[in-house]
């Protein structure tokens, strides 16, 4: 839904006024499973990407917190640790995101994930999978910095003793995801344009060939939609991120608690 709603020059049959209308229209005209198209490639990359992401975050957070604010919780350390963890995460997820978004576009010519990978590789080269990597990082570094700082801040407010508390992890994760998602929507719109290379949008502003680079994407989005163009799909993005970050944090905190508990039991 987010990919469709961020389209800057959508087909007349793919113009939506709201998230609900978009979902209803896609299901009725393109089938029940259409909104989930490309999810398999996302799931394939998500496992290793998140493993590296949380491992890097936890290690860096502890090291930096001890250096910056010994024995305390440093928001600066949380932000830096989250930003560095993003570099590893996005190196795995960027190609998966390119394939997913191309498959989700209206009238997508790709029959399967493999067909999409082969066609993009053949026609645009390997670089196409990383064309939006710098934009992705430019978006995700502030996103993850805001995300981790907000999560840790929320934990300080509602779970100051830092005990395993599923409700507090879900609430903190959801709030952190919503705040970070809303703040970084303009960058996400630029990333979608770079990933999908919408022909109608690019030709309408006399761009031939492939659009590359965040600065060019920013200029093109403004030419096509003005300031409001930067916030296309903000509602869909927030709705998508809230459960996503809530689930990610609750699962992570559960396994952290479970493994720590087992380690302590073995010692005793």
For residue 243, tell me if it sits in a domain: yes
For residue 167, tell me if it sits in a domain: no
Q: Which domain holds residue 243?
A: 236-267
pLDDT at 38: 60
| Mean pLDDT, each 10-residue run in order, the chain (268 residues) | 59 66 70 62 78 89 84 84 91 86 73 83 87 81 92 94 94 96 89 74 72 81 87 89 94 91 79
For residue 13, tell me if it sits in a domain: yes
Name, in order, each residue with C-beta under 8 angstroms of 181's C-beta and a sequence gap of 6 or more.
Answer: 143, 234, 237, 238, 240, 241, 242
pLDDT at 171: 97
For residue 45, tell me if it sits in a domain: no
For residue 32, tell me if it sits in a domain: yes
pLDDT at 254: 94
Number of compact structural domains in the chain:
2
pTM of the prediction? 0.65
For residue 9, tell me if it sits in a domain: yes
> Rounded distance, CA 90 to CA 104, Å?
20
In Å, what is the CA distance from 31 to each residue of 28, 35, 129? 6, 8, 28
- Please state the three-class secondary structure of 8-42 as a single string: CCCCHHHCCCCHHHHHHHHHHHHCCCHHHCCHHHH
Q: Which three-class secondary structure state does DSSP give residue 71? A: coil
pLDDT at 111: 74
pLDDT at 172: 97
For residue 85, tell me if it sits in a domain: no
For residue 19, tell me if it sits in a domain: yes
Judge contact between 192 and 100, C-beta under 8 A: no
């Amino acid at each position: 839904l987010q990919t469709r709603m961020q389209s800057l020059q959508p087909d007349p049959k793919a113009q939506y006024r709201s998230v609900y209308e978009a979902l209803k229209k896609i299901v009725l005209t393109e089938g029940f499973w259409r909104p989930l198209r490309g999810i398999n490639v996302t799931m394939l990359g998500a496992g290793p990407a998140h493993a590296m992401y949380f491992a890097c975050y936890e290690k860096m957070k502890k090291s930096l917190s001890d250096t910056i604010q010994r024995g305390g919780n440093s928001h600066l350390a949380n932000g830096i640790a989250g930003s560095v963890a993003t570099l590893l995460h996005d190196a795995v997820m960027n190609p998966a995101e390119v394939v997913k978004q191309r498959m989700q576009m209206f009238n997508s010519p790709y029959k399967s994930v493999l067909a999409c990978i082969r066609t993009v590789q053949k026609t645009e080269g390997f670089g196409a999978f990383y064309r939006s990597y710098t934009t992705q990082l430019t978006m995700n570094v502030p996103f993850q910095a805001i995300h981790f700082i907000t999560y840790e801040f929320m934990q300080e407010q509602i779970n100051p003793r830092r005990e395993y508390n599923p409700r507090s992890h879900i609430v903190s994760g959801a709030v952190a995801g919503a705040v970070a998602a809303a703040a970084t929507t303009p960058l996400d719109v630029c990333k979608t344009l770079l990933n999908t290379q919408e022909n109608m949008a690019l030709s309408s502003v006399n761009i031939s060939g492939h659009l590359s680079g965040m600065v060019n994407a920013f200029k093109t989005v403004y030419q096509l939609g003005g300031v409001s163009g930067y916030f296309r799909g903000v509602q869909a993005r927030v709705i998508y991120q809230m459960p996503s970050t809530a689930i990610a944090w609750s699962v992570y905190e559960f396994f952290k608690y479970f493994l720590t508990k087992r380690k302590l039991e073995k010692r005793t």
